Amino acid sequence: DGGITQSPKYLFRKEGQNVTLSCEQNLNHDAMYWYRQDPGQGLRLIYYSQIVNDFQKGDIAEGYSVSREKKESFPLTVTSAQKNPTAFYLCASSIKPSGWNSPLHFGNGTRLTVT
């Protein structure tokens, strides 16, 4: 079955360490996204990528970095520069604009706790 796989489900890190969250999709979608969700709040866009080797900053990109070397993969690195990294991180994907009738497909998320 096609879908988006995020790993790990839970991640614990010490303050000052960089950490990389994995996101893999086998939906053959062109665009991929990273969102952050804080308790009781909506989703905020961190980065998104329309095609391989290209990505754009979202609304809260500071302290994060991404890469898109393969169509299937869009890993997110939370760097030590991110002041409040503890959150629920959601990866999503979508097909090209010609298929706007298709919504975002989401992974199951990674809950990151930094102490």
Per-residue mark of binding to other proteins, 56-75 (x: CB under 8 A):
x-xx----------------
Q: Give me the least distance between CB of 26 and other proteins, in Å please.
A: 16
DSSP 20-84: EEEEEE-S--SEEEEEEE-TT--EEEEEEESSTT--EE-TT-TTEEE--SBTTB--EEE-TT-S-
Distance (Å, rounded) from C-alpha 113 to C-alpha 99?
Answer: 36
Q: Does 102 bind other proteins (CB under 8 A)?
A: yes
Per-residue mark of binding to other proteins, 16-55 (x: CB under 8 A):
---------------x-x-x----xxxxxx--x-x-----
Nearest residue (CB) to other proteins, 4 versus 114: 4
Q: Give me the least distance between CB of 106 and other proteins, in Å please.
A: 5
Nearest residue (CB) to other proteins, 85 versus 107: 107
| Partner residues linked to 34 by β-bridges | 47, 91
